[in-house]
Amino acid sequence: MVAPAGTPAVRGRAARRPAPDRGTGPRSRGLSRTRFLGRWAGLAPFALYAALFLGVPTVSVVIGSFQDNSGHPTLSNVSAAAHGIYLRAFLESIRLSAAAAVIGAVLGLVLALAMASSPRGRLLRHVVTSASGVFANVGGVPLAFMFIATLGNLGMVTRALAAMGLDIYNAGFSLFSFTGLVVVYVYFEIPLMVLMILPAVDGLKIQWGEAAANLGASRWRYWRHVGGPLLLPAFLGALLLLFTNAFAAYATAYALTTGTIPIVPIQIGSLLSGNVLVDQQNLGKALGLGMILVVAVVMALYAWLQRRTSRWLR
């Protein structure tokens, strides 16, 4: 006796019937392969650019760091880079980059919080973000000239302050010292911090502050227990990027100090310009390897912090 089509027996047999495989045929495999190649084809120009201008120089620096003038393996370059004036240059670069990064990160965060509290679409917000994009990319000799004309010995601000009875150079400040370099670096670190931290600040939902206020929490307790911990990974990640940005700066520091402050980029520039010791022509590559290692450690920490931040920005 055949069961009608609508009976449970027929429905059960239909449910047990395997569904046709629509994704394993030759045509489906061909389409998947085409999509895969299409995605990677878009990345091909960038991959070629990165390989030529980042990968090849990096490999050349790493190999040259462990070779003498004749191409034989040696550790003398790395040993020289870790002692004496070159070790001091690394320590001075780290100190300068850390000071500029911390000051720029704090001031940039304050500015980003002030901007986030204003309604979106306001003219002030657009002006500040646009200006930050411009100022963050100002550097090199033009930036040094701007500060010499402003805060140099005969700069406009220096003369204006002296006319008011405040001589900053007699008070101990000098644009051509370590403190002066920190001031110049902070100029482009603050706008860069604004651009990096503003998305994280915008990610703080207004409802979280309202919920904390409804539960009786003060503004300080909200930032201590809610806003601060949520912003901390993004803040630390931006701080690491600011450190890297300052650590690699060369032209501005050289134009202001002409090498009197021994930071690593200036030492490398001096070696590349021909000021080398006997049998140490690859010493500049060893210093470059040290910079690569420092940046690699910083970027590894940044990647870890970015994974932490992405959990609540989704």
Whole-number Å distance between alpha carbons of 312 and 314: 6
Q: Using N-to-C axis directions, what is the helix angle for 228-247 and 178-202, rounded to 10°?
A: 140
Per-residue pLDDT, 309: 66
Q: What is the pLDDT of residues 261-304, one digit of tens each?
A: 889 999 888 887 765 555 567 888 999 999 999 999 998 988 88
Per-residue pLDDT, 2: 46
The answer to whether 247 and 94 are in contact (CB under 8 A) is yes
Percent of the chain with pLDDT strictly greater than 70: 82
CATH class assigned to 60-313? mainly alpha
Whole-number Å distance between alpha carbons of 214 and 222: 11
Per-residue pLDDT, 10: 45
Per-residue pLDDT, 311: 64
Per-residue pLDDT, 15: 47
Residue 9, C-beta contacts closer than 8 angstroms, at least 6 positions apart: 3
Per-residue pLDDT, 120: 59
Q: How much is the average pLDDT of 57-76?
A: 88
Q: What is the pLDDT of residues 83-135, one digit of tens each?
A: 889 999 999 999 999 999 999 999 999 999 888 777 655 777 788 888 999 99
The region that residue 259 occupies, defined by phi over 0 for left and psi between -120 and 50 for alpha, beta otherwise, is left
The answer to whether 294 and 94 are in contact (CB under 8 A) is yes
129 by Cβ neighbours in 10 Å (0-12 / 13-18 / 19+) ranks as middle
Whole-number Å distance between alpha carbons of 148 and 225: 44
- Residue 228: pLDDT over 80: yes
Angstrom CA distances, 42 to 29, 32, 33, 38, 55, stand at: 20, 16, 15, 7, 19
- Residue 147: pLDDT over 80: yes
Residue 208, C-beta contacts closer than 8 angstroms, at least 6 positions apart: 222, 226, 227
Q: How much is the average pLDDT of 132-140?
A: 88
Please tell me the chain's helix, strand, coil percentages from 3-state DSSP, rounded to the nearest 5: 75, 0, 25
Per-residue pLDDT, 186: 95
116 by Cβ neighbours in 10 Å (0-12 / 13-18 / 19+) ranks as middle
Q: Coil, helix or strand for 73?
A: strand
- Residue 1: pLDDT over 50: no
Per-residue pLDDT, 209: 81
Q: How much is the average pLDDT of 191-197?
A: 93
